[in-house]
Amino acid sequence: MIRGELDLPGGGATPDEAWAELLAGNQRLRDGTPDYPRRSQDAREAVVSGQRPIAAVLGCSDSRVPLEIVFDQGYGDIFAVRAVGPTLSISSIGSVEYAVVELEVPLVVVLTHHLCGALATARHLATSGMDEYADLPGMLPEVIAGIRRSTSLADPADAPTQHAQDVVTGLTERSAPVREAVAAGRLRVVGAVYSIQTGEVIAVT
């Protein structure tokens, strides 16, 4: 193992305990009483030798969804994988697998959110009947293609939930290490939606 045996905070949690900790942090945030844990100089220095996060979170790159703030966590707590949408790619899947195999995280959270620009763009193209995304620059066609058409055509209020469920299914189907860890009981994969308006995280899978 690259990680080795490290005496770091955050290790040893079960999948359910890890998810409960993230939800408790989100509740503190919504209550206006965040702990701001593990954000001191000492906390930063404690993870110099390595990391042992309690969860990997595959979330959107949207600047309004800062993962450590959303879950009221600090240095070394969250292995953050961010991509527009988020969508699955070799990079995002491989990053999650690194967290599962090398860091032994007990939890993977796929976090979508309301008011997502990528979902809105996918919906616009789908409802306009455009099957090709040639007018989008650079690699954006690949990003939008990673959002299923059924999600793109869903009601805007329902699209983040459906997309989270789609990404959880796709991640499990495409990643053998994730499937094996789930089957062994070492890992839980959760889909969730974040509300930019209220700050609440709601599990959908």
Query: Is the Cβ–Cβ distance between 125 and 144 less than 8 Å?
Result: yes
Q: Give me the CATH topology for the region 15-40+52-203.
A: Beta-carbonic Anhydrase; Chain A (3.40.1050)
Query: Phi and psi for 152 in degrees, rounded to 5?
Result: -60, -30
Domain boundaries, the chain: 15-40+52-203
Residues 6+ apart with CB under 8 A from 117: 62, 84
Q: Is the bond leading into 86 cis (omega within 30 degrees of zero)?
A: yes
Q: Of all residues in the chain, what percent are helix, strand and coil, respectively (each to 5)?
A: 40, 15, 45
Residue 46 Cα distances to 9, 72, 75, 107, 163, angstroms: 8, 18, 9, 22, 36
In order along its 205 residues, the chain shows pLDDT tens digits of: 333 444 455 568 999 999 999 999 999 999 999 999 999 999 899 899 999 999 999 999 999 999 999 999 999 999 999 999 999 999 999 999 999 999 999 999 999 999 999 999 888 888 886 656 657 788 787 788 888 888 988 899 999 999 999 999 999 999 999 999 999 999 999 999 999 999 999 999 8
User: Which residues does residue 26 pair with via DSSP β-bridges, in sequence order?
Assistant: none
